[in-house]
Structure 1
């Protein structure tokens, strides 16, 4: 056992040198009468021998230490395909064994990490959601750090986006997309098709900010909702048919029952309850009439009857019906719109703003003139919309209110698009919702 241990190895190499160091002074003392000279000569001869013996004894360990140092550097560089062998049951053997176990663990973790990265990259690259990771450099320019296949197709014709100036990429994007990306927070917007302006693609934009390696990054997610909205609309129409049938039955059944009761009372000559019966029948009939009128208004929206209006005067008239703060440009704007339809659309938005939980002074409307467009923004400081509500907000008959019909935003969107405009929604920084309407700037001639 002692021959295979670290101490045994050192002792085997040092014994000859120690024997020389002890025996040489005795031998020289016999030859020389001066003891000091004999001791000095023996030291000069024995010391190099001892140093040589120690060096040769430590040479394997020095090689081992160099190998361990090299392996640590390889671990740091991510290389684990090697091993170190030390055939000894001593402390160095235990150290080498532990080092080998560490290498095995790191190798397994690296392989597992690579597999997870491949799986994640496959999922991210093949998702239909366009994903962009942006970071600002020292020059303040936002550059694309990562973009999946969907983002490349959407913004760069399928070409690589990494390293590109994001603001320059947006110069070729549609106006609606540029405006949505320029705003803060999540939003919902529609982009008209180049080959068919009546067709549009609806997108949901989500953005998140975080720090990575000490730098501020922004993650953008652009999800195409057009096909999903169409599927949901079909499902919603089926639901609406059930709702209408239920409402009709709830109203017609009591009307038929009351009419029958009134007929029986008349036949018996009892007229004392007829007024109550007729009053209830009238109430149920008017309720049903209002219910049907609301759905018919959405289903058969007439073409806008355009008239010339001056926005300052027209919006002041709207403020007499409902309270809101108004921000207008200095110059007097005029346009050709359908006053009745657009009034209904804005009243729907302002009513929703007041019902959002916002303070009365937090409900506001801002009018801005853009190149070829008039932009109306209805804003509040309520609770805003979460992602699920924001994605479904424009689906007809979708409502989070207990007694809501879900027609307000859908009808507003129909009116705006009938005027050749666009409607978008986004949550405001600091809380609240902004519903933006863009109408063509067609001033009166």
Structure 2
């Protein structure tokens, strides 16, 4: 009996010892758990504080961005992947009628834009203003950002500057023209004076008549070129197909020079249309051909070719004559600059003025080695406009 009690007492002591051991472990685990909870609480508090700081920074950035967009003089329109207006700034609302969030952009285009043939890289609005439009894709999401800039005043100032430049050029040309007229006029007056002499024989009269007529023809060319230059900025424009204009030029040349040693060839012409003045364009094309023939002294070859280059077409007049010296390549477009005794010095300056009045340009191909190549660039009409 006593032994049994001793065994029970020993078991009880062992159980208490095990309980104390487990209890100690639980106490340690609980303390560790409390410490971990405290650490997680601190980390969570820091994360929340960091998130709050980030949100405040983003709110500040958004406020600054909104202020910046509001202050921008250009219109900003954000279009989502579905083609609808997502956001815009006040400048855009001032430019475009009916601009509202959720509105399809194509409706805004139909409501506000009225493209014209002479817009170039700009676009006209229905209220008469002109804008430039730049696009940028949204990074990481479908859609676009449009930057719309009002260039009405800029274009007005450019036109005013061009107008003043034309006036200045016309003033200079008028002064030079008076000087240029003197020589052929003096020649004509001298020959007419010789004709009036009683002692003039028939042969002398014939020579005087020929010289007087030559001088008066030179005067006529001077006056015609001057009038063409003066009309350069106010030409009546209409839609033209390039092919018939060039074919008419070739037909006229064939009739005027049936037995000439100077050959003019026309390459393939693509079906392109332009907006221009047929008479003025015909005149400068004829001038370029005659210029090549004169440089080749009436013997040689000139080829007219047409190239499409983006929004422009290039009409290239390439001859196999002596070419234009590098030092004279810009001077040849100056009024009254000429290297020929019979030239007026107005032909190429008139041709360039007419080209620019058409929104184009006339230049010399600098890398052409087989003679001279004059390149007439003109804005082409888009297919939709042409039809």
- TM-score tier after normalising by the smaller chain length: 0.3 to 0.5
TM-score by length of 2: 0.46
TM-score by length of 1: 0.40
